[in-house]
């Protein structure tokens, strides 16, 4: 079964401690999880999951830039993603770069790999993990299940 965008069950959100994962990496919102979930139409976390392989991708949002031109902390172009593979979390920091829109794909951007930790697993190479990440991101696209209409108009490229 390939990756699909889904709302995370309350049981899985608790099992994988998604509130604390989000709060650990997302510094751009005033509210923390779980309070922030109340601002979405569906009050659940989202992820991109491959249930057959027991893999999932969770977007923790944009990181903060403390060195902004304004001198104030601002959201950066770097996003934190957690890829869960073989029972382990791999943390990816990806730089998000907007690209030229087209009629077919008005949302067009690329991701550049900033960091990856750990960079491999005992039974899986770095290249294999990056391939799985790309598979999931190509399904997650713009914002997973919360943005199905936008996802259909999104083209993602990878600089890794």
Q: Reply yes or no on whether the pLDDT at 25 is more than 60.
A: yes
The pLDDT of 108-114, averaged and rounded, is 98
Q: Is the pLDDT of residue 116 over 60?
A: yes
Three-state DSSP string of 21-64: HHHHHCCCCCCCCCHHHHHCCCCCCEEEEECCCCEEEEEEEEEE
Q: Give me the phi and psi of 44, to 5 degrees please.
A: -135, 155
Q: Are 159 and 130 in contact (CB under 8 A)?
A: no
134 — pLDDT class (breaks 50, 70, 90): very high
Answer yes or no: is pLDDT of 38 > 80.
no
**Residue 28, pLDDT score:** 55
Average pLDDT over residues 145-159: 95
Position 21 scores a pLDDT of: 87
The pLDDT, as a whole number, for residue 66 is: 78
Question: The pTM is what?
Answer: 0.89
d(CA 141, CA 125): 24
* pLDDT score of 30 more than 80: no
Rounded percentage of the chain residues whose pLDDT exceeds 90? 71
Average pLDDT, the chain: 90
The answer on pLDDT for 128 being more than 80 is: yes
Would you say residue 76 has pLDDT above 60? yes
Question: For residue range 44-56, what is the model confidence (pLDDT) as tens digits?
Answer: 889 999 999 999 9
């Amino acid at each position: 079964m390939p990756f699909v965008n889904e709302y995370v069950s309350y049981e899985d959100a608790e099992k994988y401690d998604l509130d604390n994962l989000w709060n650990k990496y997302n510094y751009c919102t005033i509210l923390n999880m779980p309070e922030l979930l109340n601002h979405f139409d569906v009050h659940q976390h989202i992820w991109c999951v491959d249930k057959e392989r027991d893999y999932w991708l969770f977007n923790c949002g944009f990181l903060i830039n403390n060195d902004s031109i304004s001198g104030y902390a601002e959201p950066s172009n770097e996003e934190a993603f957690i890829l869960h593979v073989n029972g382990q979390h791999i943390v990816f920091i990806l730089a998000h770069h907007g690209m030229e829109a087209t009629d077919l794909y008005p949302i067009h951007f690329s991701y550049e790999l900033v960091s990856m930790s750990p960079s491999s697993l005992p039974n899986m190479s770095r290249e294999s993990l990056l391939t799985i990440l790309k598979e999931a991101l190509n399904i997650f696209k713009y914002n997973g299940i919360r943005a199905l209409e936008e996802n259909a108009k999104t083209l993602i490229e990878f600089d890794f």
